[in-house]
Amino acid sequence: MTSLTRRQALQTAAATFAATSIGFMSRAAGVPELTAVEWGGGVVDAMKLIAAKQDKVTVNWVLHQGGSGAILPKIKATWPAAEYDYVAGWEGSFNGMLKEDWLVPVTVDMVPNLADIPEKIIVKNAKGQWMAVPRAVGGIYFAYRADTSPIEIKSIEDLFDPSLKGKLCWPGPTQSMMLQIVALALHAGGDENNMDPGWALMKKLAESGNIGRIAVTDTDFTTSLTSGETVGGFYSEPQLTSVAAAFPVTRLTKTEGMPVFLYQSGFAVFQNRPNLQATLGFINFAISPEMSEIYAATAGEAPLNVKAKTPDNLKHLAFTPEEFDKFVYVPDFNVVLTNQDAWAKRWEDEIAPLI
């Protein structure tokens, strides 16, 4: 029988520890390790594909829990010790980060591929500095499953149809920055500065009994639609892409009276991180034409790099100038962001008791 002395056991343990430590240290020393916050589903899958096509950095992926604003309190809790090298977000969450002065301004010198991104879409601070790197454009709009919806939805009025009882999946008060109520307000003659008509219509919709589920996370929406619990609602393209992978989905992006909101998806780069150059390098790689196409195909957001080709399955997100004027509404995101607190409370006061 083979026996192991205590000394041999300790030597073996020490050798094993040393070997694994050397392996870990050499890896850590060779390639910077980034911590990035991304959306789940197709978005993080796309970013993993992109990360796999380079060897300059390795990435620890952290996923948004709930809306993209949910990460902000976690960052605030540890600030100025930022835990993340970049956080994926959009205009809404970027504006919150700007107000807290957390972000690194970016330039074409730092991220050369920014030269191929339309400048007017880049989020800027009060000094005009570029504060986030856009990677793609997504949309938030009305859509429904063509195979299960009892009616063909063509206008906001159709949402009140009795045949849709319990069949709508409606974003919760913290989803989509309440653009769903802005959409109702636009239909009723208001806008983000005059939301009363929208709230009146929202009350009417809540009272109709047609809302079967209030989606409080992205997956609530995809699960509800794919399981057949509900048939339609108002949500963003990545979630609709997930549903459309298995079921026919009609997106109402070019239907008069059904507002479309476009948003930029992009990267916010944080101060006080040790790997700033590596982070900027990875982001520059991710927005290159080839990677933008990979991202678009998997994530369901159209590329912003002018040299990248928009895939056929995202043609509904391509608008001619005339179509853009007719169907797309660009709200004042500063107004939208500033009112989130008041609108969430108004939802609790006026809408939640009705649904």
Partner 1 sequence: MDSKRRPNPLFLPAAGLFLLLFVLPMAGLVVESLRTYVPGRIGSAEGAPFTAANYAELVKPSFAVFFFQTLRLSLAAALVGVFCALPLAHWTARKLSPRWRTLAIGFFVTLMFLSVLVRTYALELTFGAVGPLGPALRAIGISTNSRGYIEILVAAGLLHYIIPMSTLTLLATFQNVDPRLTDAAQVLGAPAWKAHLTITLPLCIRGILAAFLFGFTFSISAFVIPMILGKGRVLFISNLIYTRFSEIANYPSGAAISVVLFVLAMLLVYVMTHLVNKRWAQ
Does 62 interact with partner 1 (rule: CB under 8 A)? no
Does 45 interact with partner 1 (rule: CB under 8 A)? no
Residue found under tokens 């079921």: 247
Residue type present at position 173? P
Does 173 interact with partner 1 (rule: CB under 8 A)? yes
Q: Which is nearer to partner 1, 20 or 338 (CB)?
A: 338
Q: Do residues 134 and 263 lie in contact, with contact meaning Cβ atoms separated by under 8 Å? A: no
Q: Which is nearer to partner 1, 115 or 246 (CB)?
A: 246
Q: Work out how close the CB of 347 gets to partner 1 at its nearest, in angstroms, rounded to a whole number.
A: 9
Using only the alpha carbons of the chain, give its radius of gyration: 23
CA 82 to chain centre: 21
Tell me how far CA of residue 294 lies from CA of 147, 297, 301, in angstroms: 29, 5, 10
Which residue of 41, 42, 69, 281 would you call a contact of partner 1, by CB under 8 A? 69
- How does strand 302-303 pair with strand 232-236? unpaired
Does 73 interact with partner 1 (rule: CB under 8 A)? yes
d(Cα 239, Cα 190) in Å, to the nearest integer? 27
Instruction: Take residue 188 and report the two structure tokens written for it.
Output: 């009723």
For residue 37, give the DSSP letter.
Answer: E
How many Cβ atoms sit within 10 Å of the Cβ of residue 160?
14
Q: Binding-site residue total for partner 1 (CB under 8 A)?
A: 43
- Listed ranges 39-47, 69-77, 112-120, 271-279: which one lies at the site for partner 1 (CB under 8 A): 69-77
Q: Which is nearer to partner 1, 168 or 304 (CB)?
A: 168
Does 100 interact with partner 1 (rule: CB under 8 A)? yes
Does 159 interact with partner 1 (rule: CB under 8 A)? no
Which residue of 32, 67, 190, 303 would you call a contact of partner 1, by CB under 8 A? 67
CA 301 to chain centre: 10
Which residue of 145, 187, 213, 273 would you call a contact of partner 1, by CB under 8 A? 213
State which H helix or E strand residue 96 sits in.
Answer: helix 91-100
Residues making contact with partner 1 (CB under 8 A):
65-67, 69-70, 72-73, 75-76, 95-96, 99-100, 165-166, 172-174, 211-216, 220, 227-229, 334, 337-342, 344-345, 348-350, 352-353, 355
